Amino acid sequence: MKPTEDTETFVKLVTASGLPEADLWKALLETAGITVYLRNEGVGSIIGLTNAPLGTVDLWVPRDEAARAMEVLQDERVQAPEWEEEQP
């Protein structure tokens, strides 16, 4: 059974804009001990899209880990340094 077929156990957490972003998020989540399944990852790599609707990749996680998974991704967000945020 695929995780996308079992919505009682798995939920779609986020949609990445391409495979590189999805791989990064997957690595972060797996480092935290969260199982991650990618969906649609093959489409972008076959036709070479990374920033179009056909190049998006869905990340699915166990339903009971979804809240913790979102916290992991939010904690790992890269924020611009303060000097870059200041605009004259």
CA atoms of 69 and 35, how far apart (whole Å): 10
Say if 63 falls within a structural domain. yes
d(CA 32, CA 52): 29
CATH classification of the domain holding 44: 3.30.70
**The model scores a pTM over 0.85:** no
What total number of domains does the chain contain? 1
- Would 83 be classed as within a structural domain? no
Question: Does residue 47 belong to any structural domain of this protein?
Answer: yes
Residue 49 lies in a domain: yes
The residue segments making up the domain with residue 21 are 3-71
pLDDT, averaged per 10 consecutive residues of the chain (88 residues), comes to 64 88 92 92 58 77 94 71 52
What angle, rounded to 10 degrees, do the helices at 19-31 and 66-75 form?
Answer: 110
**What local confidence, expressed as pLDDT, does residue 39 receive?**
87
